[in-house]
Structure 1
Amino acid sequence: MWSLCVLLLCVLLSLGQGRDHTEIFTRPGSSVTLHMRYQVTVDHQDTAKCDEIEWKWNNSATGFLLVKSRRCNVTKYVNKSVSNYEISEDGNLTLYNVTTESAGDYTVTVRNTIGTVLYTEDYTLHVHIPLSHVAANISCLPDGSAQASCWVDNGTNPSYSWSLDGKSLQGRSISTYSQISLPSPVSGNLTCNVTNNISDISKSIIIFCPVPLSDPLLRSSCLQNGSTEISCSVLNGTDPSFYLTVNGELLVDNYISPQRRVNHTVSLPGPWSVNCSVRNNISEKSATITDKTCPVPLSVPVVNYTCQADGSASVLCDVENGMDASYNWTVNGELIQRNNSNITLSNKEFGEKRISCSVMNPVSKKSSNETEIFCPAPVSDPVLNVSCLQNGSAVISCWVLSGTRPLFSLTVNGGLKVVNSSSSWAGLNYTESSGGPWNVSCSVRNQLRESVTGPSYHTCPAGASCLSCLEKSVMWGTVVLIVTTTPLIIASVYTVYSTKQSP
């Protein structure tokens, strides 16, 4: 219970010479004393010495005489708006258990016994309802800013003010509530203070609004084992939660990363599509990669080759596993820039060659072992010659001008005389002792080719002149010498060239 005059707020306003005005604020149910600043006498043995006092009340609608004291006799006039009051010996008016209907303007007038006005004072009584419990609401917006509201359910003429961590802020207020907008980032102790003339209450809330998320950065990297590493990150944003979906399957669910990043390795074969969604309390962003494919790692290549009929070699770099391979070749230590899986080595230089290949794609690089390749030269058509001797026998010769490791077969009168004979000089000699006639043919072959002479008929009568035999022997001997020498010269040149080219 409020004691008398505890809540009185008096503002003295001059209304003119000898007249005062007082503002009084109180709450319903309280008692209020309207003090005069003039000493009067309302109780005296000599009634002629008692001052005449009048207390009047009026509001905007009506006026009413409350108290009249004359010749020490006090008369009270009661109405339903101001019904519980009394006047003290010094002329002050005390109102008990005031209500909002008791509010209004009060005037006291003091006169002497002959009616002369000695003192007049005006009072304005405000009966205000105290403020009820204050409530506040805060909302974080998608852009990271915040909006706060503050209100009281009851109270006369509430006045609102805001502060964040003790720093005053400007809000927008009406009679029933107040609002304030706070730019991002928002954090701290937000206080709403509400006052009126008789009460003061406040509400404080710890506020924190998350920073909105930036657009996610989604990347993928092909690894050497054929799998794919997916990385999704955001530059800005508070407490992001990551959701990663690959080909419609959720692989990462509600992953919270203080580093604002998630990494995940996918071993699925491509093509595939990935979606990264990032969320926090106020925002959600996503990014997508579609039709992503990573090359399959390459296996170790193997060199295979096939010798052709012309003595060239068709070489293949065979890779069992992998895709999108590019090729490099090395022949006898020399790099050959041909991005093909197969190459052809010509027969210009017969003999062995050392060859290897290497393959690469975006995720792997492998090299084969070095392989030695040898393709023989094809045999030329055989040359057949029959030379008669004095005794009637014949020397049969068969040779080739070129070819690697030729094998000879000689047929005389339908019978094989020499089978698969090889010779260091690329030819053979055979002596037939009978006098003929002979049906002679010679065949020669190697890994690449086989050739046969047509049948040739010869006879050598006994005792025949030896001149022609000698001429023929000299002539064919010269030919044989040339044929025999030529491969040796070629072989020597090749050996010297190969030695120069070797590292």
Structure 2
Amino acid sequence: MYVWTFKPRSGYLRQLTSVDDHCDRQHCKNETGPRCSLTTNGSLVLHDVGLYDAGQYTVTTYHVRRTKDTMDTFILHVLDAITQPVVRLLCLPDGRPVVSCWSEKGTNVSTSIIANGEEITPEGGTSLFNVTSSAPWNISCSISNKVSQKTISVHYSMCPVPLSEPHIEVSCLLDGSVEISCRIDNGSEPSFSWFVNGNITKSSSTWKVRDNVISGSSIVTMNVSCSAKNTISSVHSPVTAVSCPASELYHMARKIVLYFLYNALLISLMRDGICNQGNP
């Protein structure tokens, strides 16, 4: 008889399948990984292999008297496929530009970076690659392992500068509407997103969104915040309670206008009455 066992990289040894003296098979239990089956000659076949299937597979044969005969062990290494690379250009305090490139997933990867047609080398012992050419930079990063390869190309016209924390500025208009600005003191090429009461906000009948400025009605108090990001940083402002009820000046202006309209109407009515009295 013979028995197949499996020991993952971290976990306990367990039996996968076996064939007894009468050639009766105990098949793989495929409710959990690794999923497997036996061939007619007793070989183990793995299906839908993933990272969790990596480990030590052992087949042991026994004599009829149940004494161990042979034992062979196989180590399975599983490589994770590479996802789309991410490239970042940074400027060191001394002004030198460096590039970093990585993949969120992937095992045993190698990285190659070309800047302005020239392959660049990593800074000793780090994952940062020195850029020796002058701006602008056309950068291509290729990451590969034995099962996959991904390449990405990006263009930089300058060294990006990290963004400082944004802050909200509120301007209340006479009619009770509001204009809100998202201000950043430092940083390059930011793009902005707006959140009202925790929900992302885009241009609509309620709000007009223009990059780092939104405007709309704010009769009731709302919680407003903004976020900004560029190629090397992402920041978020504190939440600000915003409310712009119609101002006293607005109410006073309305009263003055109504007063003049009322008096103009009254004078008109009085003139009509006088004219009617003079014409029998």
Normalized against structure 2, the TM-score is what? 0.45
Structure whose CA Rg is larger: 1
The structure with the largest strand share of the pair is: 1
Higher RCO, Cα 8 Å, sep 6+: 2
Normalized against structure 1, the TM-score is what? 0.27
